[in-house]
Structure 1
Amino acid sequence: MAQSHLASPYFPPPFPLKPQLPPSKTQPSNPLPPTILSTTTMEPVAEGLTDDLDNLSLASTTTTTTAAETRQSTSSGSETTWTTSTSSLVSNSCKPHHPPQCDRCWHAIQRDNRDNSPLTLADLRFVHKLGSGDIGSVYLVELKEGNGCLFAAKVMDRKETANRNKESRARIEREILEMLEHPFLPTLFATLDSPRWSCLLTEFCPGGDLHVLRQQQPDRRFEEAAVRFYASEVVAALEYLHMMGIVYRDLKPENVLVRSDGHIMLTDFDLSLKDDNSPSIAQIVSDQNQPTTSPSTSDYPSDTSQFATSSCILPNCIVPAVSCFHHRRKRKKKLNQRGTLEIVAEPIDVRSMSFVGTHEYLAPEIVSGEGHGNAVDWWTLGIFMFEMFYGVTPFKGMDHELTLANIVARALEFPKEPSIPVFAKDLITQLLIKDPVRRLGSTMGATAIKHHHFFDGINWALLRCRSPPCIPRPVTSKSFVVAEPGNHSIEYY
């Protein structure tokens, strides 16, 4: 599976290889169809999948800590030994941020485990191999005794991971997935460990990624409303990650997946930077009427006397910029009768010298080797929005070396076509300031970005209530149909 990372991830998005679809001559005038109707094909992997399943059958796991045990299983007339060890079922059956499809998956796992018998890899039906990454493979699976709910199973060879010095990346991603509880971030249902295999059972997103979805649009680019929709959800996800002390470092359309309800989910956290210390917290009294459209200003608010910092934070407590509730009696603060009280938390002290990421999305401070922190995520947001609008990234050169040189030295230029809104250009310009100290969001984080006029009208507390621009077609295991013998094309949703 082709990778565009400098340090390739072991957990690719749970989707087939991204097709390069030519623009259709009969595409409808509406750039955002209500459903994803395109059908793509790819070469079969049935033989490789069978081989992998034979290997996977050598080791399985339990969902509770138990002593090692063995059981006998007969397959194709031969006897196979299943060796089980310890693993865990993530005990979050009623997280408030779960979309409905996650609730179905939780219920399926709980029913399968209701008699306290160990859940093993043998209890999973491996429907199809979705992709391979640097040190692992991702499979579409379902519980044999479940309700048809699909999962993405990330399977890694522990020995290979150790031999290639990738253990820290696998460990960091697992730790991060166990921390997350957000509507636009992955849900980890269970972890399955054995002496040979490590498996993460996560949510399957049937809508593909935004790179594929963009290829399906007229002229291979999104309209303003779609960019605003997806960008706002990415901002909310990055805000949560930063409040948890996590710098994502790998934002790009390929890592933004589309759930069954049309909302997004960020994936691929093996390149993320995790700070063990609490992020800095600031209490801000902001004037919502203050303009944020000048690229010369470094962040919002510009008057630093308006906020004070504190040394403590409750990382699981998210204070939205817009309240969901409107009380009958308004309580006004004497110090601020024209603005709102907001809480901002950014991991501004976390630093890294690692050279990781995708070439076209690398921030200048990463390329120059000066060390980097949270500001790289806001740079990648600017590149992300630019690509969503124009279908290309702004600093791409003829090769990787020229691309890196352009990132450091070349000024940002916007194509003449298509024409995009002035506020969109201004936001991208402020996000792509080469000096990370002056970059929008570097100090005041997502709050500065959410106040930009490009996002006017967005109710940040109710993002999940908005209608998405595109809703995927429902997918079941039968959607992955292998044709007759001799014709090995596989039909996808």
Structure 2
Amino acid sequence: MFRKKTQGPAVDDKEAPVDSISPAAPVDAPRVRRTYTLDDFELLATLGTGTFGRVRLVQLKGVGSFHALKILKKSEILRLQQLHHIKCEVEILSKIQHPFIVNYLGHFQDERRLYLVLEYVQGGELFSYLRRQGRFPDHVACYYASQLVTAMAYLHAQHIIYRDLKPENLLITSEGSLKITDFGFAKIVEDKTWTLCGTPEYLAPEIIQSKGHGKSVDWWALGVLIYEMLAGYPPFYDENPFGIYQKILDGKVDFPKHIDSKAKDLIKKLLSQDRTKRLGTFLTGLNSVLIEETYAFSCILSGCLRGGSEDVKKHKYFAKVDWDAVLACSETPPYLPPVGGPGDHTHFDEYPDSPIDDSVVLYGEDRAAFDVFDQF
């Protein structure tokens, strides 16, 4: 069962300073890609489906390498008014590179569809693994959480808010590490944005209240994810999305007895209703434009100036983590997905095949709207 995403109208964002310094490659690091066409690939199994497309396992002809091909119907993108979000996704993926983020290899288009060529991550979703296990032991949750902390630190240093952290968007490599995928809600924002988007169980209160939000919403989502990994279910749940929103705004979190005190403390600090006190929030003082001036002033008075991802890393829950080893992917993984070969896709659900040409041909202004992708 997949949780539904929420999407609202976008509003222009303001300028603001960078969150924190990243040890990984800079956002504008040059990356060499080749130009592809659909004829370059042999289409294999469907790995997943979405609102306006699907992801196919493909093999590059003449080379033999396997990749994930994200196939998006242009007519559906326009109908659902998602062109801006897809543009942001391509722009962001084309500029970033990190060991815990899926590698982007290029894109191409034809008169019906837009195609994104991505790294194929064979181990399937963390969501599936978590559901099979029920819940994770503390050391397993800490292993995955530490990788996500480094990835979020990197993204935030590049002014990027991810905004859709959840087990369904985390893939497990054949070596046992995580890869973040699906940047459909990611956005380059140097201050705040007002878009209502994400998955209900993972939304920070400021998103629900349309107060404008920044990078701290990703730290909130990390708190929800750590809770779900340890408990086997999210901290805020209801059959109705509005019931979920109300529980998030109420802010009451009940912890199962087996979750230890260090994990509880971390989760509580990540799930702070007051974003000026939320662990991971980066504040620099009265000149900060991450939050309103009144928030910045009250924050200074209360002595809660914070240092972004470094504060998260220094929490006692991560006391035994070697952060250099995390980035180097040299830690022993808790789980290695059994893989039968480079093209094995047994860790993904089976989907019925869909004709590649079942979308509408675009003309005129609609067709020209996709010229924007030629700049990447």
Cα 1:368–1:429 shift into 2, 3 Å:
same
Distance in 2 between the 1:352 and 1:2 partners? Answer: 26
Partner SS, residue 137 of structure 1: strand
Cα 1:454–1:164 shift into 2, 3 Å:
same
Shift in Å at residue 404 of structure 1?
0.7
RMSD of equivalent CA atoms: 2.3
Partner SS, residue 369 of structure 1: coil
Which of 228, 245, 248 in structure 2 is aligned with 1:404? 245
**Counterpart of 2:186?**
272
**Counterpart of 1:144?**
61
Deviation digits for residues 325-359 of structure 1, max 9, x if unmatched?
xxxxxxxxxxxxxxxxxxxxxx5xx2111111111
Q: Does 1:92 align with 2:31?
A: yes
Question: Which moved further from structure 2: 172-181 or 365-374?
Answer: 365-374
Which of 93, 97, 118 in structure 2 is aligned with 1:202? 118
Which of 165, 186, 199 in structure 2 is aligned with 1:358? 199
Cα 1:264–1:2 shift into 2, 3 Å:
closer
Shift in Å at residue 432 of structure 1?
0.6
Shift in Å at residue 245 of structure 1?
0.5
Amino acid at match of 1:175: E
Partner SS, residue 81 of structure 2: coil
Within 5 A, what are the aligned runs for 1:420-459?
420-443=259-282, 444-459=307-322
**Counterpart of 2:355?**
none
Question: Higher strand share goes to which structure?
Answer: 1
Cα 1:480–1:229 shift into 2, 3 Å:
closer
Which of 203, 225, 233 in structure 1 is aligned with 2:147? 233
Which of 69, 74, 95 in structure 2 is aligned with 1:158? 74
Cα 1:403–1:2 shift into 2, 3 Å:
closer
**Counterpart of 1:414?**
255
Which of 172, 193, 206 in structure 2 is aligned with 1:258? 172
Cα 1:436–1:227 shift into 2, 3 Å:
same
Q: How many residues align?
A: 303
Shift in Å at residue 401 of structure 1?
1.6
Shift in Å at residue 476 of structure 1?
3.8
Cα 1:475–1:126 shift into 2, 3 Å:
farther
Amino acid at match of 1:358: T
Deviation digits for residues 186-205 of structure 1, max 9, x if unmatched?
21112112333211110111
Cα 1:480–1:176 shift into 2, 3 Å:
closer
Distance in 2 between the 1:469 and 1:214 partners? Answer: 13
**Counterpart of 2:337?**
472
Amino acid at match of 2:263: A
**Which protein is bigger by CA-based radius of gyration?**
1
Deviation digits for residues 95-131 of structure 1, max 9, x if unmatched?
xxxxxxxxxxx9xx7xxxxxxxx74211211111122
Cα 1:369–1:7 shift into 2, 3 Å:
closer
Partner SS, residue 44 of structure 2: strand
Partner SS, residue 114 of structure 2: strand
Partner SS, residue 380 of structure 1: helix
Q: Comparing both chains, which one has the higher relative contact order based on Cα–Cα distances under 8 Å and sequence gaps of 6 or more?
A: 2
Partner SS, residue 6 of structure 2: coil
Cα 1:163–1:411 shift into 2, 3 Å:
closer
Distance in 2 between the 1:489 and 1:172 partners? Answer: 28
Partner SS, residue 198 of structure 2: coil
Shift in Å at residue 271 of structure 1?
0.7
Q: Which runs of 5+ in 2 are unaligned?
A: 9-28, 283-306, 353-376
Aligned partners of 1:207 and 1:259 also within 8 Å: yes
Shift in Å at residue 478 of structure 1?
6.3
Shift in Å at residue 421 of structure 1?
2.1
Aligned partners of 1:206 and 1:475 also within 8 Å: no
Amino acid at match of 1:375: S
